[in-house]
Structure 1
Amino acid sequence: MQHYDAIVIGSGQAGTPLSKKLANSGLKTALIEKRWVGGTCVNDGCSPTKAMIASAKAVWVSENSARLGVLVEHAHVDFPSIIKRKNEIVTRMRENSEKGILETENLDLIYGTAAFSGMKQVTVQLQSGEEQVLTADRIYINTGLKPEVPDIPGIRDIEFLTSTSIMELDTVPEHLLILGSGYIGLEFGQMFRRFGSKVTVIEPSARILKHEEEDIAQNIADILSLEHIDILVKTEVMSLARQGGLICATLHSDGSTREVQCTHVLVAAGREPQTPALNLEMTGVKTDEKGYITVNDQLETSTEGIYALGDVKGGPAFTHIAFDDYRIIYENMDKPGSRSVQDRPVPYCMFIDPQLGRVGITETEAKEKGMDVKVAVLKNESVARSIETGDERGMMKAVVDAYTGQILGASILAEQGGEIVTILQMAMMGGITYDQIMNSVFAHPTYAESLNNLFSTLEK
Structure 2
Amino acid sequence: MKHYDAIIIGAGQAGTPLAKKLAESGMKTAIIEKRIVGGTCIIDGCTPTKTMIASARAAFQARTAGKLGVVIPDVQVDLKKIIKRKNEIVDLFQASAEKGIKTTKGLKLYLGKAFFTGTKELKVEMKDGKTENLSADLIFINTGAKTIIPDIHGLKDVDYLTSTSILDIEEIPEHLVVIGGNYIGLEFGQMFARFGSKITILEKAPHVLAKEDQEIADEICKVLDNEKIEVLRSVTIESVTKTKNGLSVKIEDKSGARKINCSHILVAAGRKAQTDDLGLTYSGIKKDDKGHIIVNEKLETNIKGVYALGDVKGGPAFTHIAYNDYTIVYRNLIEKTKLTIKNRPIPYCMFTDPQLARVGISETEAKEQGLNYKVALLPMANVARGIETGETFGLMKAVVDAKTKQILGAAVIAADGGEIMSVLQMAMQGGITYEDIRYGIFAHPTYSESLNNLFMKLDD
TM-score (norm 2): 0.99
Q: Which residue of 2 aligns with 1:245?
A: 245
The one-letter code sitting in structure 2 at the alignment partner of 1:434 is: Y
Q: Which residue of 2 aligns with 1:383?
A: 383
User: Within 1, Cα distance between the matches of 2:242 and 2:114?
Assistant: 37
User: Within 2, Cα distance between the matches of 1:286 and 1:264?
Assistant: 39
Give a deviation string over 1:191-229, Cα, whole Å, max 9, x none.
000000000000111111111121111010011001010
Q: Does 1:121 align with 2:140?
A: no
The one-letter code sitting in structure 2 at the alignment partner of 1:12 is: G
**Residues 179 and 268, structure 1, Cα contact 8 Å, conserved in 2:** yes
Q: Which residue of 2 aligns with 1:24?
A: 24
The one-letter code sitting in structure 2 at the alignment partner of 1:23 is: A
Q: Does 1:172 align with 2:172?
A: yes
User: Within 2, Cα distance between the matches of 1:358 and 1:160?
Assistant: 31
Q: Which residue of 1 aligns with 2:84?
A: 84
User: Within 2, Cα distance between the matches of 1:430 and 1:117?
Assistant: 46
Give a deviation string over 1:214-249, Cα, whole Å, max 9, x none.
111101001100101000101111100111231111
3-state SS of paired residue (1:139): strand
User: Within 2, Cα distance between the matches of 1:352 and 1:380?
Assistant: 16
**Which stretch has the larger CA shift, 249-258 or 273-282?**
249-258
| CA-CA distance at 1:159 after TM superposition | 1.1
Q: Does 1:368 align with 2:368?
A: yes
RMSD: 0.9
**Residues 32 and 114, structure 2, Cα contact 8 Å, conserved in 1:** yes
Q: Which residue of 2 aligns with 1:130?
A: 130
3-state SS of paired residue (1:294): coil
3-state SS of paired residue (2:448): coil
User: Within 1, Cα distance between the matches of 2:61 and 2:256?
Assistant: 40
User: Within 2, Cα distance between the matches of 1:398 and 1:70?
Assistant: 35
3-state SS of paired residue (2:87): helix
Q: Which residue of 2 aligns with 1:206?
A: 206
User: Within 2, Cα distance between the matches of 1:236 and 1:129?
Assistant: 44
| CA-CA distance at 1:188 after TM superposition | 0.1
The one-letter code sitting in structure 1 at the alignment partner of 2:265 is: V
Q: Does 1:282 align with 2:274?
A: no
User: Within 1, Cα distance between the matches of 2:246 and 2:164?
Assistant: 21
| CA-CA distance at 1:367 after TM superposition | 1.1
| CA-CA distance at 1:256 after TM superposition | 2.4
Q: Does 1:193 align with 2:193?
A: yes
1:1-12 matched pairs, under 5 angstroms = 1-12=1-12
| CA-CA distance at 1:336 after TM superposition | 4.9
Identity of matched residues, %: 54
**Residues 25 and 334, structure 2, Cα contact 8 Å, conserved in 1:** no
3-state SS of paired residue (2:391): coil
User: Within 2, Cα distance between the matches of 1:299 and 1:337?
Assistant: 14
1:155-166 matched pairs, under 5 angstroms = 155-166=155-166
Give a deviation string over 1:156-181, Cα, whole Å, max 9, x none.
11111100000010110111000000
Q: Which residue of 1 aligns with 2:429?
A: 429
The one-letter code sitting in structure 1 at the alignment partner of 2:88 is: E
User: Within 2, Cα distance between the matches of 1:124 and 1:244?
Assistant: 45
Q: Which residue of 2 aligns with 1:312?
A: 312
Q: Which residue of 1 aligns with 2:406?
A: 406
Q: Structure 1: 5+ residue runs without aligned partners?
A: none
3-state SS of paired residue (2:266): strand
Q: Does 1:261 align with 2:261?
A: yes
User: Within 2, Cα distance between the matches of 1:256 and 1:438?
Assistant: 49
User: Within 2, Cα distance between the matches of 1:189 and 1:453?
Assistant: 32
| CA-CA distance at 1:438 after TM superposition | 0.7
The one-letter code sitting in structure 2 at the alignment partner of 1:388 is: E
TM-score (norm 1): 0.99
Q: Which residue of 2 aligns with 1:44?
A: 44
User: Within 1, Cα distance between the matches of 2:306 and 2:39?
Assistant: 20
**Which stretch has the larger CA shift, 52-61 or 363-372?**
363-372
3-state SS of paired residue (2:101): helix
User: Within 2, Cα distance between the matches of 1:230 and 1:318?
Assistant: 27
The one-letter code sitting in structure 2 at the alignment partner of 1:27 is: M
User: Within 1, Cα distance between the matches of 2:53 and 2:185?
Assistant: 13
Give the count of matched residue pairs: 460
**Residues 298 and 337, structure 1, Cα contact 8 Å, conserved in 2:** no
| CA-CA distance at 1:334 after TM superposition | 3.5
**Residues 101 and 109, structure 1, Cα contact 8 Å, conserved in 2:** yes
User: Within 2, Cα distance between the matches of 1:337 and 1:20?
Assistant: 19
3-state SS of paired residue (1:441): coil
User: Within 1, Cα distance between the matches of 2:220 and 2:34?
Assistant: 38
Q: Which residue of 1 aligns with 2:350?
A: 350
User: Within 2, Cα distance between the matches of 1:346 and 1:10?
Assistant: 23
Give a deviation string over 1:125-146, Cα, whole Å, max 9, x none.
1000111111111100000000
Q: Which residue of 2 aligns with 1:34?
A: 34
User: Within 1, Cα distance between the matches of 2:449 and 2:384?
Assistant: 9
User: Within 2, Cα distance between the matches of 1:231 and 1:402?
Assistant: 36
